[in-house]
């Protein structure tokens, strides 16, 4: 179990659960090189997951289910309705931008065009070589289908096309979307979370921006499909869902081992679908999950937060002891303030869930890393909660970089300046982490040294070296004498556990939100450094590729043949938006789902 080595002993139990999840014949085939999915439901283990033997495949079922017509076996006795009343006006989210002067505008516009060019290149390559497939392979020019074969990249990039004013390409893409059949797939099991954030989120956002009815029609088809994953006796959804079993009328029961982000990150898309269609059933479906989160919030081993692994069958969201804002939990927390906004501020439960969980997260998951610059920054790590004790492990995941934006946005929505400050320091943490590496890109997973407190922290080279040595000792396969040079550790980093950069968006996402909220140009400068660094290292002859090792010094970082759909859906969109006029997709009008699809806030 390579997973244990990668994570260290402290996540052994969580890792074990995840391992069990894998053994239950997951549908998801780790793409070549093991690029994980954005929220890393299985990403940590994917790279080292043993290749599954290639059993002769049964011929794919070509039957197409009309999900809207398949009977529900466990109907609800009464629907939970959408909250009624006029939306409560939210506080102003964005900075009150003044007209910019000529030079600043010229620089910004040049940069915006550069980002657009990078996107155009990737879109063209996808169109020519992988049209209607889930992903383009940016080195070989081939294609991959790990998300159901429903043109994941195409659907994910629709709203980016619109925002970048590539209207001709947008029309072509919309015509193609009309031909996608969500009634069939070659996957055995569908990942409900991924289908929700990429396909449902992508279609809803593109519909809202363009008003193209076929996109709403397709969003409904995806919604009807996913609704069947909720057809269990206790109405908890199956997150790794047997598509054909459900389609052919098999009985379903919710799972005992579920990743908390996968069950907790359906609220935005399902709420918006109910609002747009005036059919409450999707809102009803997610509200039943929200009730469990609410009832059990104070009963977990780290009260306020929920563990990474939960039991949906009971349902019991309190048993496990591993807590984090990072992989496998992340968007659960991100969605509380955003869903609150999306529901017009009319359901206070999401405010309570956010405020209570963030109290705990601030107290237990945040730490100040020791850096040579004595930088006043924050990071969010992993916590083991046991017997009323909480132990912090100062991990740093690229995925956790979304927290800066979450705190800043949550701080604005709920008028909590402390959260805006925390959001700024967390975002500064990721900007620091990028700059510390030789190619200006931070790794997927690493460790830092946590200062004893957040008030002040002097760099101490010996403390850092001792921590590196201690950490190198932890992995029993590692040579205890392994030194900083051979690990290629920049000062401040105590270990790099996963050296990849897979074109992820979370750092630029928070930088973008901080820019729109504070109006400070330093964020645009940080964004440009990130963009040029990423563009420089990831460009291939046809598009952009994930990196295997961002810490090399003697050559450029080696690449793998993978370009996940979030590169065009999220990373390039946020880069584009930070260099656009602040009125373009204003944070006062939209909330972004966790795949960067903007959903309109009802006014």
Active-site residue set = 194, 330, 444, 506
In sequence order, the β-bridge partners of residue 600 are: 590
Determine if 555 is a binding residue for ligand NAG (CB under 6 A).
no
Smallest distance from the beta carbon of 142 to ligand NAG, in angstroms? Answer: 52
- Residue count of the chain, please give it: 603
Among residues 457 and 502, whose Cβ is nearest to ligand NAG?
457
Among residues 144 and 368, whose Cβ is nearest to ligand NAG?
368
Smallest distance from the beta carbon of 558 to ligand NAG, in angstroms? Answer: 38
Smallest distance from the beta carbon of 60 to ligand NAG, in angstroms? Answer: 60
Distance separating alpha carbons of residues 601 and 268, to the nearest angstrom: 11
State the binding string over 315-354 for ligand NAG (x if CB under 6 A, else -): ----------------------------------------
State the binding string over 400-439 for ligand NAG (x if CB under 6 A, else -): ----------------------------------------
User: DSSP character for 313?
Assistant: T
The b/e string for 225-241 (b: 16+ C-beta within 10 A; e otherwise) is bbbbbbbbeebbbbbbb
Nearest-10 Cα torsion for 398, 399, 402, 407: -100
Please check whether residue 597 is in contact with residue 202, taking contact to mean a CB–CB distance below 8 angstroms.
yes
Contact partners, residue 388, CB within 8 Å, separation at least 6: none
Which residue is associated with the tokens 């759909």? 565
Smallest distance from the beta carbon of 463 to ligand NAG, in angstroms? Answer: 9
- The residue of the chain with the least Cβ separation from ligand NAG equals 453
Among residues 286 and 375, whose Cβ is nearest to ligand NAG?
375
Smallest distance from the beta carbon of 364 to ligand NAG, in angstroms? Answer: 18
- Cα angle 231, 234, 235 (rounded to 5 degrees) comes to 40
Please check whether residue 216 is in contact with residue 273, taking contact to mean a CB–CB distance below 8 angstroms.
no
State the binding string over 441-480 for ligand NAG (x if CB under 6 A, else -): ----------xxx-xxxx----------------------
Among residues 278 and 462, whose Cβ is nearest to ligand NAG?
462
Classify residue 278 as left (phi > 0), alpha (psi -120 to 50) or beta: left
The answer on whether 184 is annotated among ligand-binding residues is no
Smallest distance from the beta carbon of 367 to ligand NAG, in angstroms? Answer: 12
Among residues 91 and 372, whose Cβ is nearest to ligand NAG?
372
Distance separating alpha carbons of residues 374 and 350, to the nearest angstrom: 36
Smallest distance from the beta carbon of 407 to ligand NAG, in angstroms? Answer: 22
Among residues 457 and 542, whose Cβ is nearest to ligand NAG?
457
Nearest-10 Cα torsion for 96, 101, 103, 106: 60
Nearest in space to 244 (alpha carbons), one of 282, 200, 285, 190: 190
Number of residues that bind ligand NAG (CB under 6 A): 7
Contact partners, residue 337, CB within 8 Å, separation at least 6: 350, 351, 354, 406, 409, 410, 413, 414
* Other beta carbons within 10 Å of 386: 12
Among residues 409 and 457, whose Cβ is nearest to ligand NAG?
457
Contact partners, residue 310, CB within 8 Å, separation at least 6: 258, 259, 260, 263, 316, 317, 318, 319, 320
Residue ranges for the binding site for Ca(2+)? 594
Q: Which residues of the shown chain bind ligand NAG in the complex (CB under 6 A)?
A: 451-453, 455-458
Residue ranges for the binding site? 594
């Amino acid at each position: 179990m390579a997973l244990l080595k990668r994570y260290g002993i402290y996540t052994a139990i969580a890792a074990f659960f995840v391992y069990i999840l894998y053994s239950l014949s997951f549908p998801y085939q780790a793409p070549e090189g093991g690029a994980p999915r954005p929220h890393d439901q299985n990403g940590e283990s994917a790279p080292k997951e043993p290749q599954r033997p290639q059993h002769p495949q049964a011929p794919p079922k070509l039957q197409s289910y009309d999900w809207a017509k398949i009977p529900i076996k466990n109907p609800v006795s009464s629907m939970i309705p959408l909250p009624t009343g006029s939306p409560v006006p939210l506080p102003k989210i964005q900075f009150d931008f003044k007209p910019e002067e000529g030079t600043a505008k010229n620089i910004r516009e040049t940069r915006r065009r550069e980002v657009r060019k990078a996107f155009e290149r990737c879109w063209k390559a996808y169109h020519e070589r992988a049209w209607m497939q889930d992903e383009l392979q940016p080195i070989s020019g081939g294609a991959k289908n790990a998300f159901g074969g429903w043109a994941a990249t195409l659907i994910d990039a629709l709203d980016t096309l619109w925002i970048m004013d590539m209207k001709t390409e947008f029309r072509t893409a919309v015509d193609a979307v009309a031909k996608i059949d969500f009634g069939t797939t070659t996957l055995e099991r569908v990942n409900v979370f991924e289908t929700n954030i990429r396909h449902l989120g992508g279609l809803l956002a593109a519909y809202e921006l363009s008003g193209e009815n076929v996109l709403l029609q397709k969003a409904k088809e995806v919604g009807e499909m996913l609704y069947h994953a909720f057809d269990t006796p206790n109405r908890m959804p199956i997150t790794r869902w047997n598509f054909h079993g459900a389609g052919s009328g098999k009985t379903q029961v919710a799972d005992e081992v579920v990743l908390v982000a996968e069950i907790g990150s359906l609220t935005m898309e399902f709420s918006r679908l109910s609002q747009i269609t005036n059919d409450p059933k999707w809102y009803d479906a997610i509200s039943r999950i929200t009730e469990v989160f609410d009832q059990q919030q104070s009963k977990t081993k780290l009260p306020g937060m929920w563990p990474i692994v939960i039991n949906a069958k009971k349902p019991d969201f309190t048993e496990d002891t591993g807590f984090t804002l990072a992989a496998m939990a992340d968007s659960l927390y991100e969605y509380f303030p955003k869903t609150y906004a999306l529901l017009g501020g009319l359901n206070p439960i999401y405010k309570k869930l956010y405020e209570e969980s963030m109290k705990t997260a601030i107290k237990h998951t945040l730490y100040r890393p020791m850096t040579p610059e004595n930088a006043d920054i924050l990071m969010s790590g992993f916590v083991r909660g046991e017997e009323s004790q909480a132990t912090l492990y100062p991990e740093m995941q690229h995925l956790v970089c979304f927290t800066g934006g979450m705190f800043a946005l949550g701080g604005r929505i709920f008028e909590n300046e402390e959260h805006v400050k925390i959001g700024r320091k967390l975002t500064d943490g990721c900007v620091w982490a990028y700059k510390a590496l030789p190619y200006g890109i931070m790794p997927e997973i690493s460790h830092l040294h946590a200062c004893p407190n957040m008030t002040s922290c002097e760099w101490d080279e010996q403390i850092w070296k001792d921590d590196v040595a201690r950490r190198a000792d932890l992995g029993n396969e590692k040579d205890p004498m392994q030194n900083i040079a051979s690990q290629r550790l920049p000062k401040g980093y105590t270990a790099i556990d996963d050296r990849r950069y897979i074109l992820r968006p979370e750092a630029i996402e928070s930088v973008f939100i901080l820019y729109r909220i504070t109006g400070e140009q330093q964020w645009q400068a940080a964004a440009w450094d990130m963009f040029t660094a990423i563009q420089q290292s990831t460009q291939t002859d046809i598009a952009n590729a994930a990196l295997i090792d961002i810490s090399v010094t003697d050559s450029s970082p080696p690449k793998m043949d993978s370009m996940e759909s979030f590169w065009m859906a999220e990373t390039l969109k946020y880069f584009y938006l930070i260099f656009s006029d602040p009125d373009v997709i204003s944070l006062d009008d939209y909330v972004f789902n966790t795949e960067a699809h903007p959903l309109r806030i009802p006014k």
